[in-house]
Amino acid sequence: MMGAKNKLFVFIGIAMIMSSPSFSQNDNSYIIDQIVAVVGKNVILESDIENQYLNYRLQMNVRGSSSDIRCQILEEQLFQKLMVAQAEVDSIEVNDVQVEGEMERRLQMFITQFGSQEKMEAYYNKSIPEIKKELHDIIKEQMLAQQVQAGIVANVTVTPSEIRSYFRSIPEDSIPQIPTEYQIAQIVKKPPISVEERLIVKERLIELRSRVLKGENFSTLAILYSEDPGSAKKGGELGFYGRGQLYPEFEAVAFKLKEGEISNLVETEAGYHIIQLIERKGDYVNVRHILLTPKVSPADLLLARNELDSIANLIRNDSITFDEAVEQFSDGKNKNNGGLLVNPYTGSTTFEAEQLDQQTSFVIEKMKVGELSNPVPMKTEENEDAYQIVLLKKKTKPHRANLKDDYSKIQAWTESHKKEKVIDDWINDKAKETYVRIIDEYKSCNFRHSWEVR
């Protein structure tokens, strides 16, 4: 359960990535800057607040002005500056390579929201290098604050009595409504890729490598031929990654390359790659690559579908149980837990309809509990074509939350509430020990915390 205040602060934390003084798509929206607040040795500018407010209005489709929202933005900034000050006391550091990696991750998120890198650059009238330069210090400060905050709540746990007590404290008319949820299990048949197809793909990639070695531009060929949708548009560039963040086979080769060097073919779960090292900084590398993925033939897909059809008939005729069929026949990575799908958003085995992929959602919408589907096409985590049959194990009706049916959710709410209280107490204590000054214009804000306003 998340209140309006928390929703706003979550948004602000995201919006800050685009909130430097010069980060406006319209130069006419600049304001005369001034220092609004000082926390220790750190300052908060009027532009920091105004640009975040403009981003908030843009994303939330809010019209007009709101001093309340600006006050909340200021308080979130006060909190962040307080944590940055604490990071200095605790000697917490974030290096440039870590900042670069986080920057790449966030930029990809924003590029996805805009639809393309070009659209984002056009919106802000800045190139990616210009955007990176202006975001560097913003992201570094956020990462420092995140480490401090993680330390503050690291040891927070809740007991069963605390969970019950918290739930009973919620006014009856404020108890959240739980939507329909599903528990689903699957049997997956992932047909093998033929040797002939693998040879064809390898030969194509060897040819591309030869063209690069003869002088053709690696980035251009990546744009034209790479089958990695996330990097192809950027000339195959991945951005900085540390050890343990890439496929092991890919990583082992990437870290051995010299700057500008082209690798031989590298095979991973995703397919076949050639890699070029752009830059290495300690235990982080930035590479570009070209990925070609072998495809399953239509004939092999049909065989997989027919095999699953036979398995489904065996289950329906009680010749074998679903669990036995999962163990004997499934190619899914979840075969060891009875084929249950795990929700990547929550880590649980229950899903709301919008958390499922479109194909699975469409199939189970028409099913009854205990019913088994016919074979349906799917994409594996490696984006490979496969087929699955799906068993709808549970389906809840929309209801108000209760301890019997929704204990794990209420546990998470309780823990979140307790962490918020721990953070509130920390802020109130630290604010008393830290120099904080806020200009008169904002002293009338109805802050949640006891800032020492001077």
> Which helix (H) or strand (E) covers residue 329, if one does?
helix 322-329
DSSP 156-220: ----HHHHHHHHHHS-GGGSPEE--EEEEEEEEE-PPPPHHHHHHHHHHHHHHHHHHHTT--HHH
Its CATH class, for the domain covering 180-192+297-397, is alpha beta
Inter-CA distances, 186 with 176, 252, 311, 375, 377, Å: 30, 34, 12, 10, 12
21 vs 41, more confident: 41
pTM for this model (two decimals): 0.65
Quick check: helix, strand or coil at residue 118?
A: helix
Q: For the domain bounded by 4-157+413-442, which CATH number is listed?
A: 1.10.4030.10
Does the structure show a pLDDT above 90 at 4? no
Measured distance CA(296)–CA(293) in Å, rounded: 10
259 vs 47, more confident: 259
Q: Rounded mean pLDDT of the chain? A: 86
Tokens 């990535």 sit at which residue? 17
Residue spans per domain, the chain: 4-157+413-442, 180-192+297-397, 195-292
> Residue 101 has which token pair?
């990696």
Does the structure show a pLDDT above 80 at 383? no
Among 96-105, 214-223, 337-346, the least confident range: 96-105
DSSP 247: -
User: Tell me, what's the pLDDT at 340?
Assistant: 95
DSSP helix, strand, coil percent of the chain (3-state; round to 5): 50, 15, 35
Measured distance CA(454)–CA(437) in Å, rounded: 5
Does the structure show a pLDDT above 70 at 23? no
Domain 4-157+413-442 and domain 195-292 have a common topology: no
DSSP 52-95: HHHHHHHHHT--S--HHHHHHHHHHHHHHHHHHHHHHHTT----
Fold of 195-292: Chitinase A; domain 3 (3.10.50)
CA 256 to chain centre: 29
Measured distance CA(149)–CA(430) in Å, rounded: 13
254-276 per-residue burial string, b: 16 or more CB within 10 A, e: under 16: beebeeeebbeebebebbbbbbb
Which amino acid belongs to residue 351? Answer: F
